[in-house]
């Protein structure tokens, strides 16, 4: 979703803003713009299209001199992608400029009131309302105008604001949309995400809801919505800027797939200690774990698919009933929660609007919420009662790979912990499970090393129209994720089906040569899936099977087989997903798609 970068300090603002925006491109956007105070006026340049259009327009920022500025990459919500709808937006006198990420939900009544007061609007955006509203309330004190606006607007926002009357100060505020503030000897920065400013500073402040930041080249103050000054502590970012660079790989997605074995190790090893699963951050007593009646796992997209696997593992090992919900459904379905239910929200970004709303809904109903989150200090991480971090590091490619793999590990660890505490597994069984977990990083690496074979196979399917993925149990959850990966980055229509469900309608879509990828890693279901492979083969399908090494019988039925190393059946997702991620990646590359930034998608979905 939209990206914001702002700067005030001793350097030229425009190059810093352009550089920062380039680090936020992964969030997805359709236009870009920048406002810089040139010593007399606030200059704005903006354009639909990629950031390089803005770079060309401003000669890499050289035509916009000044040490105070804000920039924006827009992912259209209100009003089509166009020059005029791009941010920043001005008030009529062009003395106030605003960039915004989020949605002002009550912008229509506010706009109508402003129209009646004689304001005119140039764009179709909700953001322009903020610029005019600031103008309406501004009587010489920007902080007062901003807090008055905060009392009027509803919805989500991260805002960067310039006032021409205050040419040395950058203003920012947020509610339910991400925004961080950074400070160095060279000045102050704002950004939607850490990678945008990491080159300049590691001292970062996480802005809480409705906190206003007022920044100059050498000062930084935070205020509450009641204009009271707040004390805030800086957090030092430990990871390196290079973690958010491509590091020689052609795409972030390929780099991040290669990082999966490390991600799995980093998420797992601090939590396996002295033959036990230790999750210090869990915040649940053994008694509470034993009394737990039900778990709800709530997430969106790939995180939802990780939760689906989590359900099979948690129910299978810990024998606790689990319901898995799409966050966008959970928040509105009036769920029946009791004091002994645990809600687990899973999110890479920690900013997904629906997941955040589901978390709040669960808390409102008195339920404890555990967040499985990747981005440290994100909204979900801050609001959940407890947080278990997936240590995947920054994930830049829009299509998640390493964060998904880390989410699986977190869910396996939780399942083992709960099973152990509830006495559902013996000490020996726990040891065996942990040994299998420890082998996963190496096994993942082995699969990644075979990527050329997958590439050759993928090259045959770049012209495919439809591809189906089938599987049962955990293999169905894997199929859902594999199908999403393929369709989101290659634009090939793809569906995932529970293998036993095919004959209830979908099998009519199978034609001569249709590719069906059958995932079969569950020994108890192997024969059943084999029958489903035969069914689709006899209707003309070309079958790619993904199965565990040793299941050679499958070669008689399938046309092409990918073997994964042996592991506990509960953990096969961590291995089977690797060749299927690679398949999606190479199909996308073969088609010449924008692998890391697929059309219409955003990395962090901060609107409903």
- Nearest to ligand F6R of 372, 413 (CB atom): 372
Quickly list DSSP for 181-197.
Answer: EEEETTEEEEESSGGGT
Which one of residues 458, 593, 605, 607 is an interface residue with ligand F6R (CB under 6 A)?
Answer: 605
Binder among 177, 260, 261, 355 for ligand F6R (CB under 6 A): 355
Quick one: 43 or 483, whose CB is closer to ligand F6R? 483
Shortest CB 361 distance to ligand F6R, Å: 16
Residue 603 annotated to the active site: yes
Nearest Cα residue to 430 out of 455, 413, 451: 413
Q: Residue 385 and residue 41: Cα distance in Å, rounded?
A: 46
d(CA 579, CA 457): 11
What is the Cα–Cα distance from 572 to 288, expressed in whole angstroms? 30
495 secondary structure, DSSP code: E
Name the one range near ligand F6R by CB under 6 A: 49-57, 348-356, 532-540, 557-565.
Answer: 348-356
Q: Which of 399, 492, 543, 575 binds ligand F6R (CB under 6 A)?
A: 399
400 binds ligand F6R (CB under 6 A): yes
CB contact at 8 A, 302 and 447: no
Task: Outline where 121-169 has alpha helix (H).
Answer: 127-137, 142-152
72-80, 126-134, 341-349, 521-529 -> range binding ligand F6R (CB under 6 A): 341-349
Comparison of 127 and 347: residue with beta carbon closer to ligand F6R: 347
Q: Minimum distance from CB of 253 to ligand F6R (Å)?
A: 9
Q: Which of the stretches 203-211, 349-357, 453-461, 529-537 binds ligand F6R when contact is defined by CB under 6 A?
A: 349-357
Q: How far is the CB of 51 from ligand F6R (least distance, A)?
A: 21
- Shorter beta-carbon distance to ligand F6R: residue 23 or 166: 23
Pick between residue 345 and residue 530 the one whose CB is nearest to ligand F6R.
345
Stretch that binds ligand F6R, among 82-90, 160-168, 277-285, 301-309 (CB under 6 A): 301-309
- Regarding 101 and contact with ligand F6R (CB under 6 A), the answer is no
* Cis check: omega of the bond before 275, within 30 degrees of 0: no
2 part of the active site: yes
Determine the interface stretch with ligand F6R among 14-22, 299-307, 418-426, 429-437 (rule: CB under 6 A): 299-307
Stretch that binds ligand F6R, among 298-306, 364-372, 525-533, 575-583 (CB under 6 A): 298-306
Longest dimension (CA), the chain: 79
Residue of the chain from 68, 303, 478, 517 that contacts ligand F6R (CB under 6 A): 303
In the set 300, 376, 516, 582, which binds ligand F6R (CB under 6 A)?
300
Nearest residue (CB) to ligand F6R, 362 versus 545 = 362
Kindly tell me which of 31 and 302 has the beta carbon lying closer to ligand F6R. 302
Q: Return the residue of 352, 390, 443, 483 that touches ligand F6R, per CB under 6 A.
A: 352
One of 2, 214, 300, 593 is an active-site residue; which one? 2
CA distance 249 to 246: 5
464-523 positions binding ligand F6R, by CB under 6 A: 484, 488
Which residues are CB-contacts of 242 (< 8 A; sequence separation ≥ 6)? none
Residue selected from 301, 310, 473, 569 as contacting ligand F6R according to rule CB under 6 A: 301
Output phi, psi for 198, to 5 deg: -60, -30
- In angstroms, what is the minimal distance from the CB of 587 to ligand F6R? 15
Identify the bridge partners of residue 297 per DSSP, sorted by sequence position: 324, 344
Tokens for 357, please give them. 């709303």
Q: Minimum CB separation from ligand F6R for residue 490, in Å?
A: 12
> Pairing between strand 386-389 and 368-373?
parallel
Residues 6+ apart with CB under 8 A from 6: 17, 69, 70, 71, 99, 160, 170, 172, 189, 190, 191
- Could you tell me the CA-to-CA distances from 541 to 360, 419, 463, 509, 559 in Å, in that order? 46, 41, 16, 10, 9
Of 135 and 259, nearer to ligand F6R (C-beta) is: 259
Cβ partners under 8 Å of residue 588, min gap 6: 489, 490, 595, 598
Tally of CA atoms within 13 A in the half-sphere of 555 that contains its CB: 8
SS3 state of residue 65: coil
Candidate residues 349, 490, 514, 551; the one interacting with ligand F6R per rule CB under 6 A: 349
Measured from the CB atom, is 70 or 194 closer to ligand F6R? Answer: 194
Does position 606 bind ligand F6R by CB under 6 A?
A: no
Distances (CA, A) of 319 to 278, 305, 346, 484: 20, 20, 20, 29
What are the two backbone dihedrals, phi and then psi, of residue 312, each rounded to the nearest 5 degrees? -60, -40
Active-site amino acid positions: 2, 603
Residues at the interface with ligand F6R (CB under 6 A): 300-303, 347-349, 352, 355, 399-400, 484, 488, 604-605
């Amino acid at each position: 979703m939209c990206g914001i970068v702002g700067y005030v300090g001793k350097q030229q603002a425009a190059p810093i803003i352009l550089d920062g925006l380039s680090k936020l491109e992964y969030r997805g956007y359709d236009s870009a713009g920048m406002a810089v105070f040139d010593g007399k006026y606030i200059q704005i340049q903006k354009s639909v299209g990629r950031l390089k259009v803005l770079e060309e327009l401003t000669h890499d920022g050289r035509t916009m001199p000044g040490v105070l500025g804000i920039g924006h990459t827009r992912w259209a919500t209100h009003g089509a992608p166009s020059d005029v709808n791009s941010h920043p937006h001005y008030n009529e006198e062009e003395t106030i400029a605003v960039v915004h990420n989020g949605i002002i939900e009550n912008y229509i009544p506010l706009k109508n009131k402003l129209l009646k007061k004689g304001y005119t609007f140039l764009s179709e955006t909700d953001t322009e309302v903020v610029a005019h509203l600031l103008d309406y309330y501004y009587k010489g004190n920007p902080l007062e105008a901003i807090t008055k606006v905060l009392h009027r607007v509803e919805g989500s926002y991260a805002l960067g604001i310039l006032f021409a009357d205050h040419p040395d100060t950058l203003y920012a505020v947020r509610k339910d949309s991400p925004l961080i503030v950074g400070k160095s000897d060279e000045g102050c920065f704002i950004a939607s995400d850490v990678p945008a400013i990491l080159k300049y500073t590691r001292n970062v402040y996480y802005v809480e809801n409705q906190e206003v930041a007022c920044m100059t080249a050498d000062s930084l103050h935070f205020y509450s919505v009641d204009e009271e000054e707040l004390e805030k502590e800086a957090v030092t970012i430990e990871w390196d800027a290079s973690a958010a660079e491509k590091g020689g790989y052609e795409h972030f997605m390929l780099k991040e797939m290669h990082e999966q074995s490390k991600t799995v190790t980093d998420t797992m090893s601090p939590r396996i200690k002295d033959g036990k699963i230790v999750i210090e951050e869990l915040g649940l007593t053994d008694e509470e774990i034993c009394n737990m009646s039900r778990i709800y796992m709530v997430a969106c997209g790939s995180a939802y698919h990780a939760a689906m696997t989590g359900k099979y593992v948690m129910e299978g090992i810990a024998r606790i009933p689990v319901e898995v919900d799409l966050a966008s459904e959970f928040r509105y379905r009036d769920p029946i929660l009791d004091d002994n239910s645990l809600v687990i929200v899973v999110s890479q970004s920690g900013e997904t609007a629906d997941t955040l709303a589901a978390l709040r809904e669960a808390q409102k109903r008195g339920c404890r919420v555990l967040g499985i989150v990747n981005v440290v200090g994100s909204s979900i991480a801050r609001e959940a009662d407890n947080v278990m971090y997936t240590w995947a590091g920054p994930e830049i490619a829009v299509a998640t790979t390493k964060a998904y793999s880390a989410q699986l590990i977190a869910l396996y660890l939780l399942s083992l912990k709960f099973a152990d505490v509830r006495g559902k597994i013996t000490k020996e069984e726990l040891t065996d499970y942990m040994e299998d977990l420890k082998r996963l990083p190496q096994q993942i690496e082995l699969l990644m090393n075979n990527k050329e074979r997958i590439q050759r196979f993928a090259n045959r399917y770049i012209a495919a129209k439809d591809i189906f993925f089938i599987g049962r149990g955990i293999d169905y959850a894997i199929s859902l994720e594999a199908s999403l990966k393929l369709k989101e980055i290659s634009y090939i229509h793809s569906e995932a089906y529970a293998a036993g469900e095919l004959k209830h309608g979908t099998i009519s879509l199978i034609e001569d040569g249709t590719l069906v990828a059958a995932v079969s890693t569950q020994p108890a279901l192997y024969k059943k899936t084999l029958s489903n492979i035969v069914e689709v083969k006899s209707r003309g399908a070309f079958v790619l099977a993904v199965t565990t090494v040793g299941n050679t019988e499958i070669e008689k039925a399938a046309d092409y087989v990918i073997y994964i190393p042996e592991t506990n059946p509960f953990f096969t997702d961590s291995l089977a997903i690797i060749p299927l991620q690679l398949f999606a990646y190479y199909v996308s590359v073969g088609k010449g798609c924008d692998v890391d930034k697929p059309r219409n998608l955003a990395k962090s979905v901060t609107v409903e």
